[in-house]
Amino acid sequence: MQAFDPERYSRQTRFPAIGPEGQARLAAGRVALVGCGALGSVVALALVRAGVGSLRLIDRDVPERSNLPRQVLFDEADVTEGLPKAVAAARHLRAINSAAEIDPVVADLTAANAAGLLAGSDIVVDGTDNFEARFLVNEWCCRHGLPWVHGGAIGAEGRVLTILPGRTACLRCLVPEPPAPGSLPTCDTAGIIGPAALVVGAVEAAETIKLLVGAHDKAASRMLVCDLWENVWRSIDLTALAATGCPTCRGGEYPWLEGRLGGRPTALCGREAVQVTPATAGIDLSALAARLAGVGSVKANPWIVRAQVEPGIELAVFADGRAIVSGTRDEARARSVVSKYVGA
């Protein structure tokens, strides 16, 4: 049995569905959390406080002021310091639970790195804001038979779906093709209230805890949907979808995981920014900071270099070579900025 502090978790272990055995399972649990934003920060906070032993935080971004109303792990100091979200989140989480193993990974989940980032986990949790990452997680988990918890929130609405490959509908059963750009509301167009993210993240965390303690029969087999503004709560039966000939969970097709789909520049939800992924990974951040010093004000740390390269345009380059161009949602312009100041 995995060791844990019985006094610390005394109230949690009195809950019969967990008990000492369940708490030991939580202590031995390994979770990969993709995204540390509005949903992910709630999930991470809940799981670390619950005593989950190992948590890998995978996130591609940095905290912004517009994140603070809903991303509960970050504060104004994090925005000023400019550390990547995964690194800042890990620092806060270690202060909450020093016994937890927190592994921050500053990266965008891609077909090339999915295996390295998700392997070894017991469960994957969705804290992302984009369907490309979700389709990658769905395909990787379906291929390897790993459970994962999907969540999403926009406006005052939210949804959660626990996916058990081979037993329940998968994401592609629900969404056969990724939505066309601009076809769905985003944080930019519809906004979002903090309580919606809190509720969805809390439900995702509860689903994860159920799975880690072995209560698979209690995991949500239906999609849970809520509208906090209209006080609507409902669940949707997806049994019929699971019985269809899904190309992924029934047919074994993995186009996102195999790199046949995805990989384009990505407009970031809730921000006037575009992410550009390089053809080759890695960059010398020190050399880049020196080059950009002649262009404008530069802030640098071991994970990221940020520079005001043009009026209204900020360029942030990560150690893995990714760049985020803030101040535009035009993908062509973002590529042009990266090419001009970083290189092709």
Q: Residue 243: pLDDT above 80?
A: no
Token digits for 292?
């950009």
For 202-222, what is each residue's pLDDT tens digit? 999 999 999 999 999 999 879
Q: Going by C-beta distance under 8 Å and a sequence separation of 6 or more, which residues neighbour residue 7?
A: none
The pLDDT-based confidence of 279 (bands split at 50, 70, 90) is low
Whole-number Å distance between alpha carbons of 310 and 104: 31
Token digits for 217?
């029969």
Q: Residue 79: pLDDT above 80?
A: yes
CA quadruple 74, 208, 25, 7: dihedral positive or negative?
A: positive
Q: Residue 121: pLDDT above 90?
A: yes
Q: Which of the pair, 212 or 175, is modelled with greater confidence?
A: 212
The single residue of 187, 226, 246, 249 carrying the catalytic annotation is 187
For 63-77, what is each residue's pLDDT tens digit? 999 999 999 999 999
pLDDT of residue 90: 98
CB pairs under 8 A, 24+ apart, for 145-150? 146/118, 146/121, 146/122, 147/123, 147/211, 147/216, 147/219, 148/123, 148/124, 149/123, 149/124, 149/125, 149/204, 149/207, 149/208, 149/211, 150/126
Domains of the chain: 10-242 (3.40.50.720), 272-341 (3.30.310.10)
Q: What is the DSSP letter of 268?
A: P
Q: Residue 184: pLDDT above 80?
A: no
Token digits for 31?
């979770």
pLDDT of residue 119: 96
pLDDT of residue 176: 87
Asked about 187 being catalytic, the answer comes back as: yes
Q: Residue 302: pLDDT above 80?
A: yes
Q: Give strand pairing partners of 315.
A: 307, 325
**Contact, 303 vs 288, CB < 8 A?**
no
Range of weakest confidence among 146-155, 174-183, 295-304, 308-317 = 174-183
**Contact, 305 vs 299, CB < 8 A?**
yes
